[in-house]
Structure 1
Protein backbone atom coordinates (compact mmCIF):
# COMPACT_ATOMS: atom_id res chain seq x y z
CA UNK A 1 0.00 0.00 0.00
CA UNK A 2 1.46 3.36 -1.05
CA UNK A 3 -0.89 5.82 0.59
CA UNK A 4 0.87 9.16 0.99
CA UNK A 5 0.26 12.01 3.38
CA UNK A 6 -1.08 14.32 0.66
CA UNK A 7 -3.81 11.74 -0.11
CA UNK A 8 -4.97 11.82 3.50
CA UNK A 9 -4.71 15.60 3.81
CA UNK A 10 -6.77 16.04 0.66
CA UNK A 11 -9.46 13.69 1.92
CA UNK A 12 -9.57 15.48 5.28
CA UNK A 13 -9.97 18.86 3.57
CA UNK A 14 -12.73 17.52 1.33
CA UNK A 15 -14.52 15.83 4.23
CA UNK A 16 -14.57 19.13 6.12
CA UNK A 17 -15.35 21.45 3.20
CA UNK A 18 -17.83 19.11 1.49
CA UNK A 19 -16.91 20.86 -1.76
CA UNK A 20 -14.16 20.05 -4.25
CA UNK A 21 -13.40 23.64 -5.27
CA UNK A 22 -13.10 24.91 -1.72
CA UNK A 23 -11.08 21.87 -0.64
CA UNK A 24 -8.70 22.25 -3.62
CA UNK A 25 -8.18 25.92 -2.79
CA UNK A 26 -7.47 25.02 0.83
CA UNK A 27 -4.88 22.45 -0.30
CA UNK A 28 -3.42 24.85 -2.90
CA UNK A 29 -3.90 22.31 -5.70
CA UNK A 30 -6.13 22.20 -8.77
CA UNK A 31 -9.55 20.59 -8.54
CA UNK A 32 -8.61 17.79 -11.01
CA UNK A 33 -5.51 17.01 -8.93
CA UNK A 34 -7.55 16.74 -5.75
CA UNK A 35 -10.10 14.54 -7.50
CA UNK A 36 -7.36 12.19 -8.74
CA UNK A 37 -5.81 12.01 -5.26
CA UNK A 38 -9.14 11.06 -3.69
CA UNK A 39 -9.77 8.48 -6.37
CA UNK A 40 -6.31 7.03 -5.81
CA UNK A 41 -6.94 6.85 -2.06
CA UNK A 42 -10.17 4.93 -2.64
CA UNK A 43 -8.35 2.52 -4.97
CA UNK A 44 -5.58 1.88 -2.44
CA UNK A 45 -8.06 1.33 0.40
CA UNK A 46 -10.45 -0.68 -1.74
CA UNK A 47 -13.38 1.27 -0.31
CA UNK A 48 -15.63 4.04 -1.55
CA UNK A 49 -15.26 7.06 0.67
CA UNK A 50 -17.50 9.59 -1.10
CA UNK A 51 -20.89 9.81 -2.72
CA UNK A 52 -20.53 12.41 -5.43
CA UNK A 53 -23.32 14.54 -6.89
CA UNK A 54 -23.12 17.51 -9.23
CA UNK A 55 -23.17 19.98 -6.34
CA UNK A 56 -22.40 18.23 -3.07
CA UNK A 57 -20.03 15.71 -1.56
CA UNK A 58 -21.32 13.18 0.97
CA UNK A 59 -19.22 10.76 2.97
CA UNK A 60 -20.00 7.07 2.88
CA UNK A 61 -19.96 5.17 6.20
CA UNK A 62 -16.35 4.19 5.43
CA UNK A 63 -15.59 7.81 4.67
CA UNK A 64 -17.16 8.94 7.94
CA UNK A 65 -15.09 6.40 9.86
CA UNK A 66 -11.87 7.46 8.17
CA UNK A 67 -12.67 11.12 8.70
CA UNK A 68 -13.29 10.54 12.40
CA UNK A 69 -9.81 9.05 12.76
CA UNK A 70 -7.93 11.47 10.53
CA UNK A 71 -9.31 14.65 12.08
CA UNK A 72 -7.30 13.80 15.20
CA UNK A 73 -4.34 11.97 13.66
CA UNK A 74 -3.37 14.40 10.89
CA UNK A 75 -2.98 17.49 13.12
CA UNK A 76 -0.89 15.46 15.57
CA UNK A 77 1.28 14.08 12.78
CA UNK A 78 1.79 17.53 11.27
CA UNK A 79 2.76 18.91 14.67
CA UNK A 80 5.50 16.27 14.90
CA UNK A 81 6.73 16.84 11.35
CA UNK A 82 6.62 20.63 11.56
CA UNK A 83 7.57 21.76 15.06
CA UNK A 84 6.78 25.29 16.12
CA UNK A 85 9.19 27.98 14.99
CA UNK A 86 11.99 28.35 17.49
CA UNK A 87 11.96 24.69 18.53
CA UNK A 88 14.98 24.06 16.32
CA UNK A 89 18.03 26.28 16.03
CA UNK A 90 20.82 26.20 13.47
CA UNK A 91 24.02 27.14 15.32
CA UNK A 92 26.74 28.96 13.38
CA UNK A 93 30.07 29.30 15.15
CA UNK A 94 33.14 31.42 14.52
CA UNK A 95 36.47 31.84 16.28
CA UNK A 96 36.88 35.55 15.56
CA UNK A 97 36.22 38.10 12.83
CA UNK A 98 32.71 37.18 11.71
CA UNK A 99 32.29 38.41 8.09
CA UNK A 100 30.15 41.51 7.82
CA UNK A 101 28.60 41.11 4.38
CA UNK A 102 27.33 37.84 2.87
CA UNK A 103 26.48 35.93 6.13
CA UNK A 104 23.74 38.41 7.03
CA UNK A 105 22.09 37.92 3.64
CA UNK A 106 22.40 34.14 3.88
CA UNK A 107 21.07 33.93 7.45
CA UNK A 108 18.03 36.08 6.64
CA UNK A 109 17.22 33.99 3.55
CA UNK A 110 17.83 30.71 5.38
CA UNK A 111 15.50 31.62 8.24
CA UNK A 112 12.78 32.75 5.86
CA UNK A 113 13.07 29.69 3.63
CA UNK A 114 13.35 27.01 6.32
CA UNK A 115 11.59 28.56 9.32
CA UNK A 116 14.63 27.62 11.41
CA UNK A 117 16.24 30.22 13.65
CA UNK A 118 19.98 30.83 13.28
CA UNK A 119 22.12 31.58 16.32
CA UNK A 120 25.64 32.94 15.80
CA UNK A 121 28.12 32.62 18.62
CA UNK A 122 31.87 32.84 19.13
CA UNK A 123 34.10 29.98 20.31
CA UNK A 124 37.76 30.62 20.99
CA UNK A 125 38.74 27.23 19.65
CA UNK A 126 40.34 25.96 16.46
CA UNK A 127 37.08 24.44 15.13
CA UNK A 128 34.74 26.91 16.87
CA UNK A 129 32.71 24.18 18.55
CA UNK A 130 32.13 21.89 15.54
CA UNK A 131 34.18 19.06 17.05
CA UNK A 132 32.51 19.35 20.46
CA UNK A 133 28.97 19.47 19.06
CA UNK A 134 28.39 23.04 20.28
CA UNK A 135 27.88 24.35 16.75
CA UNK A 136 26.34 22.84 13.61
CA UNK A 137 28.59 24.75 11.21
CA UNK A 138 31.50 27.15 11.62
CA UNK A 139 32.89 29.94 9.45
CA UNK A 140 36.66 29.65 9.80
CA UNK A 141 39.73 31.09 8.14
CA UNK A 142 43.09 29.53 7.42
CA UNK A 143 44.33 26.01 6.74
CA UNK A 144 42.25 23.46 8.63
CA UNK A 145 43.44 19.94 9.24
CA UNK A 146 41.07 17.90 11.40
CA UNK A 147 39.53 14.43 11.25
CA UNK A 148 35.81 13.82 10.75
CA UNK A 149 34.94 17.27 9.41
CA UNK A 150 33.95 18.53 5.99
CA UNK A 151 35.72 21.68 4.80
CA UNK A 152 34.09 23.77 2.07
CA UNK A 153 36.30 26.65 0.83
CA UNK A 154 34.25 29.72 -0.08
CA UNK A 155 36.79 32.38 -1.01
CA UNK A 156 40.31 33.66 -0.36
CA UNK A 157 41.01 36.96 1.40
CA UNK A 158 44.00 39.30 1.11
CA UNK A 159 46.17 39.85 4.17
CA UNK A 160 47.38 43.03 5.86
CA UNK A 161 50.07 43.66 8.45
CA UNK A 162 49.02 45.14 11.81
CA UNK A 163 51.56 47.37 13.57
CA UNK A 164 51.52 49.59 16.61
CA UNK A 165 51.19 53.32 15.98
CA UNK A 166 54.44 53.56 18.00
CA UNK A 167 56.26 51.31 15.55
CA UNK A 168 58.73 52.68 13.00
CA UNK A 169 56.55 50.95 10.39
CA UNK A 170 53.39 52.92 11.25
CA UNK A 171 54.01 55.66 8.69
CA UNK A 172 54.25 53.23 5.77
CA UNK A 173 51.46 52.12 3.45
CA UNK A 174 52.75 48.65 2.55
CA UNK A 175 55.29 46.00 3.44
CA UNK A 176 56.68 42.95 1.62
CA UNK A 177 55.92 39.41 2.73
CA UNK A 178 59.57 38.44 3.03
CA UNK A 179 60.32 41.69 4.82
CA UNK A 180 58.05 40.51 7.63
CA UNK A 181 60.29 37.45 7.96
CA UNK A 182 62.95 39.75 9.43
CA UNK A 183 60.62 41.01 12.16
CA UNK A 184 59.06 39.69 15.34
CA UNK A 185 55.62 38.13 14.77
CA UNK A 186 52.64 38.20 17.14
CA UNK A 187 50.76 34.90 16.79
CA UNK A 188 47.28 33.84 17.85
CA UNK A 189 47.95 30.13 18.29
CA UNK A 190 44.29 29.10 18.79
CA UNK A 191 42.23 30.91 16.17
CA UNK A 192 44.77 32.87 14.15
CA UNK A 193 45.23 32.59 10.39
CA UNK A 194 49.02 33.09 10.18
CA UNK A 195 51.91 31.07 11.59
CA UNK A 196 55.57 30.46 10.79
CA UNK A 197 54.79 27.78 8.19
CA UNK A 198 53.44 30.50 5.87
CA UNK A 199 57.09 31.42 5.17
CA UNK A 200 59.87 29.22 3.74
CA UNK A 201 61.58 27.11 6.39
CA UNK A 202 64.90 28.88 5.86
CA UNK A 203 63.46 32.39 6.16
CA UNK A 204 60.84 32.66 8.91
CA UNK A 205 60.04 35.43 11.38
CA UNK A 206 60.82 35.07 15.05
CA UNK A 207 57.85 34.77 17.39
CA UNK A 208 57.72 37.82 19.64
CA UNK A 209 54.41 37.10 21.39
CA UNK A 210 51.98 34.18 21.59
CA UNK A 211 48.27 34.78 22.27
CA UNK A 212 45.22 32.56 22.60
CA UNK A 213 42.48 34.77 21.14
CA UNK A 214 41.99 37.77 18.88
CA UNK A 215 41.62 40.34 21.66
CA UNK A 216 44.91 39.33 23.27
CA UNK A 217 46.58 39.42 19.85
CA UNK A 218 45.26 42.91 19.15
CA UNK A 219 46.49 44.31 22.46
CA UNK A 220 49.93 42.74 21.94
CA UNK A 221 50.23 44.46 18.56
CA UNK A 222 49.00 47.76 20.04
CA UNK A 223 51.67 47.46 22.75
CA UNK A 224 54.32 47.16 20.02
CA UNK A 225 55.23 43.57 20.90
CA UNK A 226 55.63 42.77 17.21
CA UNK A 227 53.87 42.66 13.83
CA UNK A 228 50.60 40.80 13.30
CA UNK A 229 49.13 39.50 10.04
CA UNK A 230 45.37 39.23 9.50
CA UNK A 231 42.81 39.20 6.67
CA UNK A 232 42.25 42.57 5.04
CA UNK A 233 38.69 43.07 6.32
CA UNK A 234 40.11 43.56 9.85
CA UNK A 235 42.04 46.60 8.67
CA UNK A 236 38.90 48.16 7.22
CA UNK A 237 37.13 48.06 10.58
CA UNK A 238 39.44 50.53 12.39
CA UNK A 239 39.26 48.37 15.49
CA UNK A 240 41.99 49.96 17.65
CA UNK A 241 43.23 53.55 17.92
CA UNK A 242 46.81 52.35 18.54
CA UNK A 243 46.99 49.91 15.60
CA UNK A 244 47.72 50.75 11.95
CA UNK A 245 47.45 48.45 8.95
CA UNK A 246 49.79 48.06 5.99
CA UNK A 247 48.97 46.28 2.74
CA UNK A 248 51.07 43.24 1.80
CA UNK A 249 50.84 43.03 -2.01
CA UNK A 250 52.69 39.70 -2.30
CA UNK A 251 51.17 37.89 0.70
CA UNK A 252 49.55 34.46 0.19
CA UNK A 253 45.79 34.70 0.60
CA UNK A 254 43.79 33.30 3.47
CA UNK A 255 41.07 30.72 2.72
CA UNK A 256 37.67 31.25 4.31
CA UNK A 257 35.80 27.98 4.84
CA UNK A 258 32.55 26.49 6.01
CA UNK A 259 33.30 23.59 8.37
CA UNK A 260 30.91 20.98 9.75
CA UNK A 261 30.97 17.46 11.18
CA UNK A 262 30.74 14.45 8.89
CA UNK A 263 28.74 12.57 11.50
CA UNK A 264 25.34 13.60 12.83
CA UNK A 265 25.28 16.81 10.81
CA UNK A 266 22.22 19.05 10.99
CA UNK A 267 19.77 18.09 8.19
CA UNK A 268 19.80 21.66 6.84
CA UNK A 269 23.59 21.87 6.46
CA UNK A 270 23.51 21.41 2.69
CA UNK A 271 20.87 24.13 2.34
CA UNK A 272 22.98 26.66 4.27
CA UNK A 273 26.15 25.73 2.36
CA UNK A 274 24.42 26.10 -1.01
CA UNK A 275 23.00 29.50 -0.06
CA UNK A 276 26.42 30.68 1.14
CA UNK A 277 28.09 29.54 -2.07
CA UNK A 278 25.46 31.33 -4.12
CA UNK A 279 25.80 34.55 -2.11
CA UNK A 280 29.60 34.59 -2.40
CA UNK A 281 29.45 33.74 -6.09
CA UNK A 282 27.05 36.57 -6.83
CA UNK A 283 28.90 39.31 -4.98
CA UNK A 284 32.51 38.74 -3.94
CA UNK A 285 34.10 41.84 -2.42
CA UNK A 286 37.23 43.64 -3.58
CA UNK A 287 39.19 42.02 -0.77
CA UNK A 288 38.43 38.47 -1.77
CA UNK A 289 38.47 36.24 -4.77
CA UNK A 290 36.70 32.95 -5.27
Structure 2
Protein backbone atom coordinates (compact mmCIF):
# COMPACT_ATOMS: atom_id res chain seq x y z
CA UNK A 1 0.00 0.00 0.00
CA UNK A 2 1.39 3.41 -0.98
CA UNK A 3 1.46 6.26 1.50
CA UNK A 4 -0.50 9.38 0.60
CA UNK A 5 -0.83 12.86 2.05
CA UNK A 6 -3.96 11.82 3.94
CA UNK A 7 -1.84 9.46 6.03
CA UNK A 8 0.42 12.33 7.05
CA UNK A 9 -2.54 14.58 7.84
CA UNK A 10 -4.07 11.89 10.03
CA UNK A 11 -0.82 11.35 11.90
CA UNK A 12 -0.29 15.08 12.52
CA UNK A 13 -3.85 15.46 13.77
CA UNK A 14 -3.34 12.54 16.17
CA UNK A 15 -0.08 14.08 17.39
CA UNK A 16 -1.73 17.45 17.98
CA UNK A 17 -4.86 16.12 19.66
CA UNK A 18 -3.15 13.28 21.56
CA UNK A 19 -6.24 11.31 20.66
CA UNK A 20 -7.50 9.31 17.68
CA UNK A 21 -11.03 10.42 18.52
CA UNK A 22 -10.02 14.08 18.59
CA UNK A 23 -8.13 13.71 15.31
CA UNK A 24 -11.15 12.13 13.67
CA UNK A 25 -13.37 15.00 14.83
CA UNK A 26 -10.91 17.60 13.51
CA UNK A 27 -10.62 15.91 10.11
CA UNK A 28 -14.33 15.03 9.84
CA UNK A 29 -13.43 11.36 9.44
CA UNK A 30 -14.51 8.26 11.27
CA UNK A 31 -12.34 6.99 14.10
CA UNK A 32 -11.69 3.61 12.40
CA UNK A 33 -10.55 5.44 9.26
CA UNK A 34 -8.01 7.49 11.20
CA UNK A 35 -6.80 4.38 13.04
CA UNK A 36 -6.33 2.53 9.76
CA UNK A 37 -4.34 5.44 8.30
CA UNK A 38 -2.03 5.45 11.32
CA UNK A 39 -1.55 1.69 11.16
CA UNK A 40 -0.75 1.84 7.43
CA UNK A 41 1.82 4.58 8.02
CA UNK A 42 3.48 2.60 10.81
CA UNK A 43 3.63 -0.52 8.64
CA UNK A 44 5.20 1.45 5.81
CA UNK A 45 7.84 2.98 8.08
CA UNK A 46 8.42 -0.25 9.97
CA UNK A 47 8.18 1.41 13.38
CA UNK A 48 5.63 2.51 15.95
CA UNK A 49 4.86 6.20 15.92
CA UNK A 50 2.31 6.22 18.72
CA UNK A 51 2.50 4.60 22.15
CA UNK A 52 -0.89 3.19 23.06
CA UNK A 53 0.23 1.47 26.26
CA UNK A 54 -0.45 4.47 28.53
CA UNK A 55 -3.77 5.97 29.56
CA UNK A 56 -3.09 9.00 27.37
CA UNK A 57 -1.92 8.49 23.81
CA UNK A 58 1.66 9.72 23.30
CA UNK A 59 4.18 9.79 20.48
CA UNK A 60 7.16 7.46 20.59
CA UNK A 61 10.68 8.79 20.06
CA UNK A 62 10.34 7.85 16.40
CA UNK A 63 6.96 9.56 16.30
CA UNK A 64 8.41 12.84 17.55
CA UNK A 65 11.16 12.67 14.92
CA UNK A 66 8.70 11.89 12.13
CA UNK A 67 6.29 14.64 13.20
CA UNK A 68 8.63 17.41 12.11
CA UNK A 69 9.33 15.74 8.78
CA UNK A 70 5.64 15.16 8.08
CA UNK A 71 4.77 18.77 8.86
CA UNK A 72 7.54 20.03 6.58
CA UNK A 73 6.42 17.71 3.79
CA UNK A 74 2.83 18.92 3.96
CA UNK A 75 3.91 22.53 4.07
CA UNK A 76 6.10 22.08 0.99
CA UNK A 77 3.28 20.34 -0.89
CA UNK A 78 0.69 22.99 -0.05
CA UNK A 79 3.05 25.82 -0.97
CA UNK A 80 4.00 24.16 -4.25
CA UNK A 81 0.35 24.20 -5.34
CA UNK A 82 -0.22 27.81 -4.26
CA UNK A 83 0.68 29.89 -7.31
CA UNK A 84 0.19 33.14 -5.41
CA UNK A 85 3.07 32.33 -3.07
CA UNK A 86 5.59 31.82 -5.88
CA UNK A 87 6.04 35.53 -6.60
CA UNK A 88 4.94 37.13 -3.35
CA UNK A 89 5.09 34.65 -0.48
CA UNK A 90 3.04 35.89 2.49
CA UNK A 91 4.02 35.31 6.09
CA UNK A 92 1.27 33.17 7.59
CA UNK A 93 0.99 34.05 11.28
CA UNK A 94 -1.13 31.74 13.40
CA UNK A 95 -2.77 32.31 16.76
CA UNK A 96 -5.24 30.26 18.76
CA UNK A 97 -6.96 33.28 20.32
CA UNK A 98 -6.35 37.00 20.85
CA UNK A 99 -3.40 37.27 18.44
CA UNK A 100 -1.11 39.98 19.89
CA UNK A 101 -3.86 41.70 21.83
CA UNK A 102 -3.78 45.50 21.64
CA UNK A 103 -0.53 45.31 19.68
CA UNK A 104 -2.18 43.45 16.78
CA UNK A 105 -3.45 46.38 14.73
CA UNK A 106 -0.38 48.63 15.23
CA UNK A 107 1.86 45.73 14.23
CA UNK A 108 -0.09 44.90 11.07
CA UNK A 109 -0.17 48.56 10.01
CA UNK A 110 3.56 49.06 10.52
CA UNK A 111 4.37 45.78 8.83
CA UNK A 112 2.34 46.76 5.76
CA UNK A 113 4.24 50.05 5.56
CA UNK A 114 7.72 48.63 6.15
CA UNK A 115 7.41 45.24 4.40
CA UNK A 116 4.92 45.76 1.54
CA UNK A 117 6.33 42.85 -0.46
CA UNK A 118 5.65 40.32 2.30
CA UNK A 119 2.03 40.55 3.45
CA UNK A 120 1.03 38.94 6.75
CA UNK A 121 -1.87 36.50 6.75
CA UNK A 122 -3.25 36.38 10.31
CA UNK A 123 -4.94 33.02 10.89
CA UNK A 124 -6.85 31.87 13.97
CA UNK A 125 -6.48 28.10 14.33
CA UNK A 126 -7.86 26.33 17.39
CA UNK A 127 -5.04 24.07 18.51
CA UNK A 128 -2.09 24.32 20.88
CA UNK A 129 0.42 25.42 18.26
CA UNK A 130 -2.06 27.49 16.21
CA UNK A 131 -1.49 25.35 13.12
CA UNK A 132 2.31 25.35 13.30
CA UNK A 133 2.86 21.61 13.68
CA UNK A 134 0.25 20.97 10.99
CA UNK A 135 2.23 23.06 8.52
CA UNK A 136 -0.66 25.52 8.10
CA UNK A 137 1.33 28.59 9.21
CA UNK A 138 4.91 29.84 9.05
CA UNK A 139 4.98 31.18 12.61
CA UNK A 140 2.61 31.32 15.55
CA UNK A 141 1.92 33.49 18.58
CA UNK A 142 1.87 31.13 21.55
CA UNK A 143 1.17 31.89 25.21
CA UNK A 144 2.59 30.08 28.21
CA UNK A 145 5.31 27.45 28.14
CA UNK A 146 6.06 26.09 24.67
CA UNK A 147 6.95 22.42 25.14
CA UNK A 148 6.17 21.03 21.69
CA UNK A 149 9.32 19.31 20.37
CA UNK A 150 10.98 20.62 17.23
CA UNK A 151 9.96 24.28 17.53
CA UNK A 152 12.16 27.34 17.83
CA UNK A 153 10.84 30.18 19.97
CA UNK A 154 11.59 33.81 20.77
CA UNK A 155 10.11 35.66 23.77
CA UNK A 156 8.08 38.73 22.84
CA UNK A 157 6.52 40.21 25.99
CA UNK A 158 4.46 39.25 29.04
CA UNK A 159 0.79 39.82 29.78
CA UNK A 160 -1.16 40.11 32.99
CA UNK A 161 -3.97 37.63 33.59
CA UNK A 162 -7.60 38.52 33.98
CA UNK A 163 -10.71 36.85 35.36
CA UNK A 164 -13.74 36.61 33.08
CA UNK A 165 -17.12 36.52 34.85
CA UNK A 166 -20.74 36.89 33.86
CA UNK A 167 -21.73 40.54 33.54
CA UNK A 168 -24.77 40.35 35.83
CA UNK A 169 -23.16 38.26 38.59
CA UNK A 170 -21.83 39.44 41.98
CA UNK A 171 -18.18 39.00 40.99
CA UNK A 172 -18.62 41.59 38.25
CA UNK A 173 -19.25 44.25 40.90
CA UNK A 174 -15.65 44.04 42.16
CA UNK A 175 -12.82 46.10 40.70
CA UNK A 176 -10.34 43.20 40.96
CA UNK A 177 -10.44 39.53 41.86
CA UNK A 178 -8.14 36.87 43.28
CA UNK A 179 -7.83 33.19 42.40
CA UNK A 180 -9.55 32.37 45.69
CA UNK A 181 -12.56 34.43 44.61
CA UNK A 182 -13.00 32.11 41.63
CA UNK A 183 -12.35 28.77 43.32
CA UNK A 184 -15.91 28.33 44.57
CA UNK A 185 -17.30 28.67 41.04
CA UNK A 186 -17.23 26.23 38.14
CA UNK A 187 -14.21 27.11 35.97
CA UNK A 188 -14.36 26.74 32.18
CA UNK A 189 -11.21 25.30 30.61
CA UNK A 190 -10.37 25.34 26.90
CA UNK A 191 -8.65 21.96 26.62
CA UNK A 192 -7.60 22.40 22.98
CA UNK A 193 -5.84 25.76 22.88
CA UNK A 194 -6.38 27.35 26.28
CA UNK A 195 -3.71 28.51 28.67
CA UNK A 196 -5.45 27.93 32.01
CA UNK A 197 -5.33 24.67 33.97
CA UNK A 198 -6.19 23.86 37.56
CA UNK A 199 -2.46 24.01 38.37
CA UNK A 200 -2.82 27.79 38.38
CA UNK A 201 -4.47 27.51 41.80
CA UNK A 202 -2.69 26.39 44.99
CA UNK A 203 -3.34 22.71 45.61
CA UNK A 204 -5.36 23.39 48.74
CA UNK A 205 -7.77 25.80 47.05
CA UNK A 206 -8.30 24.48 43.55
CA UNK A 207 -11.79 24.66 42.06
CA UNK A 208 -13.70 21.41 42.38
CA UNK A 209 -15.98 21.95 39.40
CA UNK A 210 -14.89 22.46 35.81
CA UNK A 211 -16.50 22.78 32.41
CA UNK A 212 -14.43 21.91 29.33
CA UNK A 213 -14.74 23.46 25.87
CA UNK A 214 -12.71 23.29 22.67
CA UNK A 215 -12.52 26.91 21.49
CA UNK A 216 -12.71 30.53 22.60
CA UNK A 217 -16.26 31.07 21.32
CA UNK A 218 -17.64 28.29 23.52
CA UNK A 219 -15.49 29.56 26.42
CA UNK A 220 -17.13 32.97 26.17
CA UNK A 221 -20.60 31.48 25.89
CA UNK A 222 -20.15 29.44 29.06
CA UNK A 223 -19.17 32.57 30.98
CA UNK A 224 -21.80 34.87 29.48
CA UNK A 225 -24.59 32.45 30.36
CA UNK A 226 -23.42 32.23 33.97
CA UNK A 227 -22.40 28.58 33.79
CA UNK A 228 -18.77 29.20 34.75
CA UNK A 229 -15.98 31.71 35.29
CA UNK A 230 -12.72 31.80 33.37
CA UNK A 231 -9.11 32.96 33.48
CA UNK A 232 -7.20 34.24 30.49
CA UNK A 233 -4.50 36.65 29.36
CA UNK A 234 -5.26 40.36 29.25
CA UNK A 235 -5.26 40.25 25.44
CA UNK A 236 -8.53 38.34 25.56
CA UNK A 237 -10.27 41.32 27.16
CA UNK A 238 -9.12 43.53 24.30
CA UNK A 239 -9.78 41.13 21.45
CA UNK A 240 -12.95 39.38 22.64
CA UNK A 241 -15.40 41.90 24.14
CA UNK A 242 -18.75 40.33 24.94
CA UNK A 243 -21.82 42.05 26.41
CA UNK A 244 -22.35 39.14 28.75
CA UNK A 245 -18.77 38.97 30.02
CA UNK A 246 -16.84 41.29 32.33
CA UNK A 247 -13.06 41.08 32.65
CA UNK A 248 -11.37 41.93 35.95
CA UNK A 249 -7.66 42.02 36.90
CA UNK A 250 -6.40 38.98 38.81
CA UNK A 251 -4.28 40.23 41.67
CA UNK A 252 -2.36 37.04 42.46
CA UNK A 253 -1.99 35.21 39.13
CA UNK A 254 1.43 35.09 37.47
CA UNK A 255 2.01 36.95 34.21
CA UNK A 256 1.78 35.05 30.94
CA UNK A 257 4.81 34.89 28.62
CA UNK A 258 4.06 35.40 24.94
CA UNK A 259 6.35 33.78 22.35
CA UNK A 260 6.73 33.61 18.62
CA UNK A 261 7.32 30.03 17.50
CA UNK A 262 8.36 28.56 14.15
CA UNK A 263 9.80 25.41 12.60
CA UNK A 264 13.59 25.87 12.40
CA UNK A 265 14.04 23.37 9.56
CA UNK A 266 12.38 25.65 6.98
CA UNK A 267 11.89 29.12 8.48
CA UNK A 268 10.20 31.91 6.56
CA UNK A 269 12.89 34.51 5.80
CA UNK A 270 10.80 37.33 7.29
CA UNK A 271 10.61 35.82 10.80
CA UNK A 272 13.60 37.76 12.24
CA UNK A 273 12.08 41.04 11.01
CA UNK A 274 8.73 40.08 12.52
CA UNK A 275 10.28 39.39 15.93
CA UNK A 276 12.07 42.73 15.87
CA UNK A 277 8.95 44.67 14.93
CA UNK A 278 6.71 42.97 17.51
CA UNK A 279 9.20 43.82 20.24
CA UNK A 280 9.36 47.42 19.04
CA UNK A 281 5.58 47.77 18.99
CA UNK A 282 5.16 46.08 22.37
CA UNK A 283 7.99 48.08 23.90
CA UNK A 284 6.57 51.33 22.63
Task: Say whether the fold is shared (TM-score over 0.5).
Answer: yes
Closer, same or farther: CA 272–165 of 1 in aligned 2, 3 Å: closer
What's the CA shift for 1:149? Answer: 0.6
Partner of 1:91: 92
Q: Secondary structure of the equivalent of 2:281?
A: helix
Q: Report 1:53-72 matches (<5 A).
A: none
Q: Secondary structure of the equivalent of 2:149?
A: coil
Which string of whole-angstrom CA distances, capped at 9 and with x for unpartnered residues, describes residues 98-149 of structure 1? 2354343434444444421211111011101111111011112222211001
Structure 1: 5+ residue runs without aligned partners? 1-82, 284-290
> Of the candidates 232, 235, 247, which is equivalent to residue 245 of structure 1?
247
Larger Rg: 1
Q: Report 1:268-287 matches (<5 A).
A: 268-281=270-283, 283=284
Partner of 1:200: 202
What's the CA shift for 1:190? Answer: 1.3
Closer, same or farther: CA 84–188 of 1 in aligned 2, 3 Å: closer
How far apart are the structure 2 equivalents of 1:84 and 1:161? 41
How far apart are the structure 1 equivalents of 2:185 and 2:85? 56
- The answer as to whether partners of 1:208 and 1:225 remain within 8 angstroms in 2 is no
- The answer as to whether partners of 1:106 and 1:272 remain within 8 angstroms in 2 is no
> Of the candidates 158, 161, 166, which is equivalent to residue 160 of structure 2?
158
Q: TM-score, length-normalised on structure 2?
A: 0.64
- The answer as to whether partners of 1:142 and 1:194 remain within 8 angstroms in 2 is no
What's the CA shift for 1:90? Answer: 0.9
Closer, same or farther: CA 272–184 of 1 in aligned 2, 3 Å: same
Higher helix share: 2
Partner of 2:146: 144
Over aligned residues, Cα RMSD in angstroms?
2.3
How far apart are the structure 1 equivalents of 2:226 and 2:187? 11
How far apart are the structure 2 equivalents of 1:255 and 1:88? 29
How many pairs does the alignment contain?
Answer: 200
